[in-house]
C-alpha cells in the first residue's frame, strides 16, 4: 500500500500518485524517438496519452447539505444489501458496493465529514473486484470514520484483478471533510461502504456514480 499525500484541491489535471507512471512513459517515448525507433515510439505516445487520461483528477462540485453522503468513487453500484454482521462496525449495517472499471476516474473521496478512528490494511488476493467475495479475500484498506454526532461508518478500498496498489493518504485521528481526496486504487478496483441501518439509500443497483458529487443517501 502507498501512503502518497496530495492536496485537497487539484494543482494538476492528474493525480499526484500517477506522476511517476506518466514520467516513465514520457521517458521511454523520448528514448525511442532519440534512437530513431519511430514505430514503437508512436505506440508509446498513445500509451502515455492513456496513462495521463487514466490518472485524471477533475475537481467536483461537492453537495454541501449536512446529511447527504456522497460517493467515494466513480463507477457503478453493484451491491446494496443489509448485513447482520460487519467486520468494520458493531451490529448490523447496510453495505453499498461501487465497482470501478479501467475507464473510470480512480481518485477516491471522503463520503462524509468525520474523524478517522481506524485505518485497517489487509493484504490479500487480486481476484475480479466485481465478485462479492473480493470484499473478503482481496487486498483492501478500510477507514472507519466517526461523524460529529458519534455515528460510525466504513469505506473500504479493494484491489481488483488488475489493480495492484492501493493508495491511502490519511491516518488515524485525521479529520476529513466531505469530498476530500484521500486515496486511489491504480488500474481498476472497488469501493465498499458500510453504513448504519437507519441510513437512507438514494441509489439503485446499476446506477453510475461520480466521486464527490453523486449522493449515495442520507445520514439520520
- Residues labelled as active-site residues: 189
Q: Is there a contact between 92 and 86 (Cβ–Cβ < 8 Å)?
A: yes
What gap in Å lies between CA 24 and CA 29, rounded to an integer? 9
Question: Comparing C-alpha atoms, which of 120, 170, 150 is closest to residue 3?
Answer: 170
Q: Where are the alpha helices (DSSP H) in the chain?
A: 19-34, 38-54, 134-137
Q: Is there a contact between 130 and 78 (Cβ–Cβ < 8 Å)?
A: yes
Grid cell, residue 166, equals 492501493
What gap in Å lies between CA 155 and CA 212, rounded to an integer? 14
Axis-axis angle for helices 19-34, 38-54 (nearest 10): 170
The residues, ordered by sequence, that sit 6+ positions from 174 with a Cβ below 8 Å of its Cβ are 115, 116
What gap in Å lies between CA 195 and CA 153, rounded to an integer? 5
Amino acid at each position: 500500500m502507498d501512503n502518497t499525500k496530495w492536496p485537497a484541491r487539484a494543482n494538476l489535471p492528474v493525480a499526484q500518485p500517477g506522476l511517476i507512471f506518466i514520467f516513465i512513459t514520457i521517458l521511454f517515448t523520448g528514448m525511442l524517438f532519440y534512437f530513431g525507433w519511430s514505430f514503437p515510439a508512436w505506440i508509446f505516445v498513445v500509451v502515455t496519452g492513456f496513462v495521463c487520461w487514466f490518472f485524471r483528477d477533475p475537481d467536483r462540485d461537492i453537495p454541501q447539505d449536512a446529511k447527504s453522503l456522497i460517493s467515494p468513487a466513480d463507477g457503478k453500484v453493484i451491491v446494496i444489501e443489509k448485513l447482520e454482521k460487519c467486520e468494520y462496525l458493531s451490529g448490523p449495517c447496510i453495505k453499498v458496493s461501487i465497482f470501478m472499471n479501467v475507464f473510470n476516474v480512480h481518485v477516491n473521496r471522503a463520503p462524509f465529514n468525520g474523524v478517522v478512528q481506524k485505518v485497517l490494511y489487509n493484504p490479500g488476493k487480486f481476484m475480479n473486484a466485481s465478485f462479492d467475495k473480493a470484499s473478503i479475500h482481496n487486498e483492501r484498506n478500510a477507514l472507519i470514520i466517526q461523524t460529529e454526532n458519534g455515528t460510525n461508518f466504513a469505506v473500504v478500498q479493494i484491489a481488483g484483478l488488475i489493480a495492484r496498489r492501493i493508495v491511502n493518504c490519511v491516518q488515524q485521528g485525521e479529520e476529513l471533510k466531505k469530498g476530500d481526496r484521500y486515496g486511489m486504487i491504480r488500474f481498476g478496483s472497488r469501493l465498499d461502504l458500510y453504513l448504519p441501518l437507519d441510513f437512507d439509500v438514494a441509489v439503485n443497483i446499476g446506477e453510475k456514480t461520480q466521486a464527490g458529487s453523486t449522493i449515495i443517501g442520507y445520514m439520520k
